[in-house]
């Protein structure tokens, strides 16, 4: 079956490369790069600072992107969106501004063993500096977090649960709505790492019950260097700035300063306005494709991919064996072959996959492996690519002399 979306992605037309590293970074359609070029060629000026037309237009585009991002994730108010560079910076903002100032010794921060390092190291830092204790949710072998596990780890001592929406290794979707219910019953807040969910599924932070929600533009067709932290308005208003300097102030004297209103008090310095224009275009593109189509295409391709891998007895697929529970992410190992060798030999065959620990070393330990290979799909991939990939995978052991 052909995929008409591919026409919009110049890089996919460049050669026969099978790009299966979409969980690391997705590709950008022409509409996104054109929106950024349009920004650069028509209104590149410092947003928020100039009283002249170009700067006003730059500000308008930047704020439009904020409204688009708010609508995408169902935020009640666009002021609840703080632009950052990426998910990592968003979570650090929450950790430095909320964690260091509102958590204390005796409190517990609940994370899962599956977290990307970006949703673990900031909380390790908060734990070290405040004395709050880190508590780990342990998944079942297929990546599921059971109700019993949630109820036993999220307790009245919990002040914050920081949880990935979709694991970048197992592809499992965590029950964040239920986690938020339990956390709120215990008086705790919930931060959702949405890096791997925002590109693939409709998200509504209010329905999920997320108090914080982080995502990256580059994983959802947008440019690198722009991401966002959503936080409820009351939280952002209470939280002190993370970075300080230009553009985030109301009034500055020699000794002190008062800060701008939210979200500007969290956006110190010149912002990434052309990146925001690109993010806006990415959001429009995703909406045009529609999350139903995205989900349906990914499920079809993942089922085909997993079936092919499951037919090879020397391949282990981590997480659920049900392709519907993978969100396009399939992590595996080939018996006898180091994942780095697998990725390198595939590169010489024009296949791009990821190999390594995927910034999730505690999960690797839990799985009992040092590293794995990972193929991650997006809606612009095709059945033909999956079949070519499977053909090459079946030859890898031979190529590596196993
Ligand atoms: N969280 C998850 C689940 C991820 O998969 C990633 C990136 O792979 C990140 C956080 C970090 O994203 P970024 O590098 O855009 O900050």
Q: Residues near 347 by Cβ (< 8 Å), separated by ≥ 6?
A: none
Which residue has the least CA distance to atom 6 on ligand 1? 195
Measured between alpha carbons, how far is 304 from 382 in angstroms, rounded to an integer?
10
Q: Where are the domains of the chain?
A: 4-20+290-399, 32-287
Compute the distance between CA of residue 353 and CA of residue 335 in angstroms, rounded to an integer.
Answer: 17
Q: Which residues of the chain have pLDDT under 70?
A: 1
Of these residues, 43, 327, 337, 359, which one is catalytic?
Answer: 359
Distance CA 324, CA 59 (A): 42
Alpha-carbon distance of 173 to 92, in angstroms, equals: 23
CA distance 345 to 348: 5
Half-sphere exposure of 166 (CA within 13 A, CB side): 23
Our mutation pick for probing the ligand 1 site, out of 89, 118, 222, counting the most ligand atoms within 8 A of Cβ, is 118
Does the Cβ of 376 fall within 6 Å of ligand 1? no
Report, at the CATH architecture level, how domain 32-287 is classified: 3-Layer(aba) Sandwich (3.40)
359 annotated active-site:
yes
Question: Which pLDDT belongs to residue 1?
Answer: 58
Establish whether residue 196 lines the binding site of ligand 1, counting it when its CB lies within 6 angstroms of any ligand atom.
Answer: yes
- What is the Å distance from ligand 1's center to 140 Cα? 23
Ligand 1 centre to CA of 46 (Å) is 28
pTM of structure? 0.98
Residue ranges with strand state E in 260-353: 315-317, 329-334, 351-352
**CA 87 to ligand 1: nearest atom:** 16
The CATH classification number of 4-20+290-399 equals 3.90.1150.10
Strand partners, 262: none
Catalogue the E-assigned strands of 102-248: 108-112, 133-137, 158-164, 189-193, 212-216, 227-231
174-180, Cβ contacts within 8 angstroms, sequence gap of 24 or more:
174/112, 174/114, 174/145, 175/145, 175/150, 176/208, 176/209, 176/210, 177/207, 177/208, 177/209, 178/147, 178/150, 179/145, 179/150, 179/154, 180/208, 180/209, 180/210, 180/211
Q: How far is the CA of 88 from the centre of ligand 1 (A)?
A: 6
């Amino acid at each position: 079956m052909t995929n008409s979306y591919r026409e919009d992605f110049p890089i996919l037309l460049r050669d026969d490369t099978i790009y299966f590293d979409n969980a690391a970074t997705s590709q950008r359609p022409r509409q996104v790069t054109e929106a950024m070029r349009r920004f650069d060629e028509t209104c590149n000026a410092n947003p928020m600072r100039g009283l002249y037309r170009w700067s006003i237009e730059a500000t308008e585009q930047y704020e439009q992107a904020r409204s688009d991002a708010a609508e995408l994730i169902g935020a009640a108010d666009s002021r609840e969106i703080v632009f950052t560079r990426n998910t990592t910076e968003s979570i650090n903002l929450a950790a430095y501004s909320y964690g260091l100032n509102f958590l204390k010794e005796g409190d517990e921060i609940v994370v899962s063993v599956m977290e990307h390092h970006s949703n673990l190291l900031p909380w390790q830092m908060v734990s070290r500096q405040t004395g709050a204790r880190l508590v780990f949710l342990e998944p079942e072998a297929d990546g599921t977090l059971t109700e019993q596990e949630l109820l036993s780890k999220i307790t009245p001592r919990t002040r914050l649960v920081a949880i990935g929406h979709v694991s970048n290794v197992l592809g499992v979707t965590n029950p964040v709505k239920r986690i938020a219910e339990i956390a709120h019953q215990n008086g705790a807040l919930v931060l959702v790492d949405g890096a791997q969910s925002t590109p693939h599924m409709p998200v509504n932070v209010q329905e999920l019950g997320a108090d914080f929600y982080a995502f990256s533009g580059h994983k959802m067709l947008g440019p690198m260097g722009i991401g966002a932290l959503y936080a409820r308005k009351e939280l952002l208003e209470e939280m002190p700035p993370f970075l300080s300097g230009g553009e985030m102030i109301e009034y500055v004297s020699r000794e002190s300063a008062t800060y701008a209103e939210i979200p500007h008090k969290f956006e110190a310095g010149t912002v990434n306005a052309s990146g925001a224009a690109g993010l806006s275009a990415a959001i429009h593109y995703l909406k045009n494709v529609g999350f139903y189509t995205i989900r349906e295409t990914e499920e079809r391709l993942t089922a085909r991919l997993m079936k092919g891998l499951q037919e090879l007895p020397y391949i282990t697929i981590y997480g659920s064996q049900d392709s519907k529970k993978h969100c396009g992410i399939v992590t595996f190992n080939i018996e006898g072959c180091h994942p780095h060798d697998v990725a390198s030999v595939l590169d010489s065959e024009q296949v791009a996959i990821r190999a390594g620990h995927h910034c999730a070393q505690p999960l690797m330990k839990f799985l009992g492996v040092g590293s794995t290979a990972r193929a991650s799909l997006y809606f612009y991939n095709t059945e033909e690519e999956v079949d070519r990939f499977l053909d090459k995978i079946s030859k890898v052991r031979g190529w590596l002399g196993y």
